[in-house]
């Protein structure tokens, strides 16, 4: 809201040259506002589309690792995540190196874990989060079947806690926050080696 002018300012009149200089600026401002409004309306009607490529997802994921979880006599540590974008998939998938220590065993067991997560849109923040992480496969050399279940559970718990702490993507500009808060996540799909996220009203 524009603040009222003080009495001495209300009576003043800008010089002619100043008025002429202001007109082009005002015209440009109106044109820009119209263009932005049209773009937002187009997005609102057709869906707000975000495309995340492998390098941007990899950079975000590396900031969430390593992760570690201790439970039921196990210590599970996951490092070196690597994003995999599978055409047509609706989940974010990645593999990690895994190290498992078992109380009473002298050596650390090593292998790999493959994890996937779904994307969730938080309307209050205008942000996308990786949620509901699950362990799709576990391959640890020397790990007995009795420890496979607890290891899988510990790995999934550690990943969920880490991914929940930081959004994958935050929508911008902030000035669109009220409109974006009404959007819903309508589709997630890997298309042409990019994770395509569509939000609609």
Place of tokens 């800008």: 14
71 beta partners: 74
**Residue 142: what are its φ and ψ, rounded to 5°?**
85, 0
**Residue 90, pLDDT score:** 96
Tell whether domain 51-170 is in CATH 3.15.10.40.
yes
**Residue 184, pLDDT score:** 86
**Residue 179, pLDDT score:** 66
Q: What is the DSSP string of 26-45?
A: HHHHHHHHHHHHHHHHHHHH
* Residue among 186, 156, 34, 104 at smallest CA distance from 197: 186
Q: What is the DSSP string of 58-99?
A: HHHHHTT--EEEEETTEEEEEEEEEEE--TT-SSEEEEEEEE
**Residue 46, pLDDT score:** 59
**Residue 93, pLDDT score:** 97
* Residue among 162, 165, 166 at smallest CA distance from 66: 162
**Residue 174, pLDDT score:** 52
Q: How far is CA 180 from CA 47, 54, 92, 98, 121, in A?
A: 11, 25, 23, 38, 10
Task: Collect the ranges in the chain with pLDDT lower than 70.
Answer: 1-46, 173-181, 201
Bridge-based pairing of strands 109-122 and 67-71 is unpaired
């Amino acid at each position: 809201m524009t603040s009222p002018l003080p009495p001495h300012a209300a009576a003043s009149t800008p010089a002619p040259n100043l008025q002429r200089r202001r007109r082009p600026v005002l015209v440009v401002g109106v044109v820009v506002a119209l263009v932005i409004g049209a773009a937002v309306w187009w997005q609102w009607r057709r869906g707000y589309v975000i495309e995340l490529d492998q390098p941007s997802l990899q950079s975000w994921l590396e900031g969430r690792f390593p992760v570690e979880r201790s439970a039921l006599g196990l210590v599970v540590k996951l490092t070196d995540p690597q994003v995999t974008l599978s055409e047509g998939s609706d989940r974010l998938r990645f593999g990690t190196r895994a190290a498992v220590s078992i109380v009473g065993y002298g050596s650390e067991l090593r292998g790999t874990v493959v994890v996937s997560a779904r994307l969730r849109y938080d309307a209050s923040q205008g942000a996308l989060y990786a949620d509901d992480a699950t362990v799709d496969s576990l391959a640890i050399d020397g790990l007995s079947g009795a420890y496979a279940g607890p290891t899988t559970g510990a790995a999934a718990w550690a990943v969920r806690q880490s991914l929940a702490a930081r959004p994958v993507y935050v929508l911008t500009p902030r000035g669109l926050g009220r409109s974006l808060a009404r959007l819903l996540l309508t589709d997630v799909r890997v298309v042409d080696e990019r994770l395509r996220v569509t939000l609609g009203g």
